[in-house]
Homo-oligomer: A and B are copies of this chain.
Amino acid sequence: MTSTTTAPQGATTAVALSGVTKVYGRGTSAVLALDGVSLDVAPGEFVCLVGASGCGKSTLLNLVAGLDRPSGGQIGLAGDTNPGLMFQEPALFPWLTVEGNVEVPLKLRRLPRAERRERVAELLRTVHLADFGRKRPHELSGGMRQRVALARTLALDTPVLLMDEPFGALDAMTRDILHDELERIWSERQLSVLFVTHNVREAARLADRIILLSSRPGRIIYSTEVNIPRPRRIDSPEVAAIAADVTERLRTEVGRHGQ
């Protein structure tokens, strides 16, 4: 079974998945995580993925990032750089300071030292951790670690950004601020974003398009465009309306499966 959704304007495509299937394990203990997912993300498009716990969202991002190989189907990417992926866990390097962590992708791109230092400071300011550059990951709170991971992913400067619940550990206010920052960066850099979240309002706040995955195996069961003009506010009634719609569908889906 194949569920398909295409980018609104049939122009070029930043990310193209067609019939992507992923099976973990072998034999009787095999888990079908994704089943025939087809999805195109247009350049500059902001796509949010929502779905129940364990439905295959992280799996999908891993496949797109090239960290794992699909069991079936094809994944195409524009350009030749891999997309930047912000993992569901912070995945910081414990042997480096906060600055060191954010600097790694810059070092790998061989930026000169002065420029690196400047970029790191700027990114840490973006995530409101300017004072914490010299701390080590184990000295940070959960939310702080997540923000460092965000800064590190942004440092990659890739045209495609994959984000796996990037703001899950943040309080509502900090999250609001970072929504604004992310939106600014997205529009400035013309990024294509594939964004996983459990917060449906967050999806409605940020997305051009929201895609709903079914519970195991993950299939696209719903896709809706969010046509609210930007800048949006997370507590605006339009956002709430979209959120309510998606929530309702999600509820049906989880209800069908969850019990």
Interface residues of A (CB under 8 A from B): 24-25, 29, 31, 50-55, 57-58, 88-89, 128, 134, 139-144, 147, 164-165, 168-175, 177, 198-200, 247, 250-251, 253-255, 258
Contact = CB atoms under 8 A, between A and B. Distances in A.
A171 B89 contact: no
Most interface-central of A143, A147, A164, A171 (chain B CB within 10 A): A171
A143 B53 contact: yes
Given A128-B258, A142-B58, A258-B177, A172 B89 contact: no
A53 B174 contact: yes
B258 A169 contact: no
Say how many copies of this protein the assembly contains.
Answer: 2
A199 B1 CA distance: 37
Nearest to A247: B172
A202 to B, nearest CB: 11
B169 A168 contact: yes
B147 A53 contact: yes
Contacts of A128: 258
Given A52-B173, A172-B200, 5 more contacts: A52-B171, A53-B171, A142-B164, A170-B198, A171-B254
A141 B250 CA distance: 18
B172 A198 contact: yes
Contacts of A58: 141-142
A222 to B, nearest CB: 14
Most interface-central of A58, A172, A247, A253 (chain B CB within 10 A): A172
Contacts of A174: 52-53, 254, 258
A20 to B, nearest CB: 17
Contacts of A24: 139
A61 to B, nearest CB: 11
B170 A53 contact: yes
Nearest to A132: B54
A216 to B, nearest CB: 10
